[in-house]
Copies of this chain bind each other. A is one copy, B any other.
Amino acid sequence: MTEPQVRLDLQRRQRLGMVEAIFGEHKTSEQIAACLSRLEAAGELALVTRVDQAKAAAVADLLSNVQFHAQARCLTLGDPAILLPALGEVVVLSGGTSDLPIAAEAALALRWHGIQSELLLDVGVAGLQRLLDQLARLQRAKVLIACAGMEGSLPTVLTGLVPQPVIGVPVSVGYGVSAGGRTALEGMLASCAPGLVVVNIDNGYGAAMAALRILKAAITGEAAVNQ
């Protein structure tokens, strides 16, 4: 068995206008550090998702230019992109405070691409007034990311109230039938509110990249990619 050959996607920024993201959950700290060094050498930023405290520390022992974000459970390489306020605002909502890690992952991924966002937690529909109270503020955002576990009805109710793009993020918070986030996911997919789109369970990163694509779509194609 010869030494394995690894091909990083170094053209992602050119092609998609996105920094390389590394899925950290099933990699060793050595594998992560090796990827990051190659990206650093190529002058790239990077985001490593789904990393716990211990693995982050082990990577930091091997590499200097990295930073751990405990709430978001992510490692970053390099400094965040310059803020691009002209692209518009994103609000990240969640049904409960247990959804924080996922909401924070979304916010961090946005920030690393130059987008500032606001986090609004615990506005779930069991106490509906909390959401209705924020309507004016929500109507000012360009894109909404709505995270919810358990039965996941927040994105449905929200999508029925506002005309903007809403990205639902099912969260693996719950127990019994809702353990693992399937019920929230399927509730969002089955939603009777028109135009709600959905990403994988706990995929705050993916929701952020979808929001980024939408924000950039407001500007003409070619231009957007090169920002």
Query: Is the beta-carbon distance between B210 and A190 smaller than 8 angstroms?
Result: no
Task: Return chain B residues, CB-CB under 8 Å to A2.
Answer: 116-119
Return A135 CB to nearest CB of chain B, in Å: 11
Query: Is the beta-carbon distance between B197 and A121 smaller than 8 angstroms?
Result: no
Query: Is the beta-carbon distance between B163 and A9 smaller than 8 angstroms?
Result: no
Residue A48, interface by CB 8 Å: no
Query: Is the beta-carbon distance between A7 and B122 smaller than 8 angstroms?
Result: yes
Query: Is the beta-carbon distance between B161 and A128 smaller than 8 angstroms?
Result: yes
Q: Which 7 residue pairs of A and B lie closest in terms of their CB atoms, listed nearest first?
A: A176-B201, A195-B209, A9-B127, A178-B190, A197-B197, A153-B153, A4-B119
Could you tell me which A residues sit within 8 Å of B by CB distance? 1-9, 11-12, 15-18, 21, 23, 25-27, 31, 35, 50, 88, 95-98, 100, 103-104, 107-108, 111, 116-130, 133, 139-140, 142-143, 149-153, 156-157, 159-167, 170, 172-203, 205-206, 208-210, 212-214, 216-218, 221-222, 224-225
